[in-house]
Amino acid sequence: MARLCIIPARGGSKRIPKKNIKYFLGKPIIAYSIETAIKSNLFDEVMVSTDDKNIAEIAKKYGAKVPFLRSKKNADDFATTIDVINEVLKQYKTKNKTFDIACCIYPTAPFVTKTILEEGLIQLTKNNFDTVFPVMAFSYSIQRALKLNTNNKMTLFEPKHLNSRSQDLEKAYHDAGQFYWFNTSIINKGKLWTNNTGVVIINETEAQDIDTLEDWKLAEIKYKLLHEKKITI
């Protein structure tokens, strides 16, 4: 079964300018996603979908293919991941290339490893899921979340859990924002989360959402801690 890796990297990032090629501990952050995908040997092709020629050149430098540039329509602030994936698959089809399984790895996901990718693929194929993606547990019980009014007066989202012990509450998880494995046949449904979606659970040291420069610095610190050699005493 042919497998494609799609790394979506448009040029118009707003909160962190040139985010997808900003240097992260010595090299463009997109390089981590590209190199991990290639070294995993899980894909027949690793490609970057971008509208930016500079990003395209950097992507090719690190081993990815850029067989075509993304359309302007799917490079604006309103284009979704599913829009980009759809465009990529259609473009390949015009070149008589089709894929049964694909993985969309985000360009700002330096924590992704071969092991996590392999686990996701195993879950997808073994359980015949439509999609699989990594999730993390919320660090605090969401059942005891707070909301504030304009005067900073606090109320609970779920008052019935005011006196509940956190260990008695059900665990909740959120998307780690790293990658999505999927069967390409489900793309016509227009969504990546279906009623037949599985997950890979990772811990909070294995991911970091990067939306601000503060997030960026925190991600670099976490990455260093995660990869530093253990000292034997």
Residue type, 4: L
Q: Tens digits of per-residue pLDDT, 21-77? A: 999 999 999 999 999 999 999 999 999 999 999 999 999 999 999 999 999 999 888
Q: Tens digits of per-residue pLDDT, 86-119? A: 999 999 999 999 999 999 999 999 999 999 999 9
> What backbone torsions phi and psi does residue 23 show, to the nearest 5 degrees?
-70, 130
pTM as predicted: 0.92
- Give the pair of three-digit tokens for residue 130: 């439509």
Are 200 and 120 in contact, with CB atoms under 8 Å apart?
A: yes
> What backbone torsions phi and psi does residue 10 show, to the nearest 5 degrees?
-80, 165
Report the distance separating Cα 191 and Cα 186, nearest Å: 8
Are 102 and 182 in contact, with CB atoms under 8 Å apart?
A: yes
Report the distance separating Cα 94 and Cα 99, nearest Å: 13
- Report all structural domains of the chain as residue ranges with CATH numbers, in order of start: 3-133+173-227 (3.90.550.10)
* Residue in 106, 139, 129 with CA at minimum distance from that of residue 10: 106
Report the distance separating Cα 217 and Cα 51, nearest Å: 27
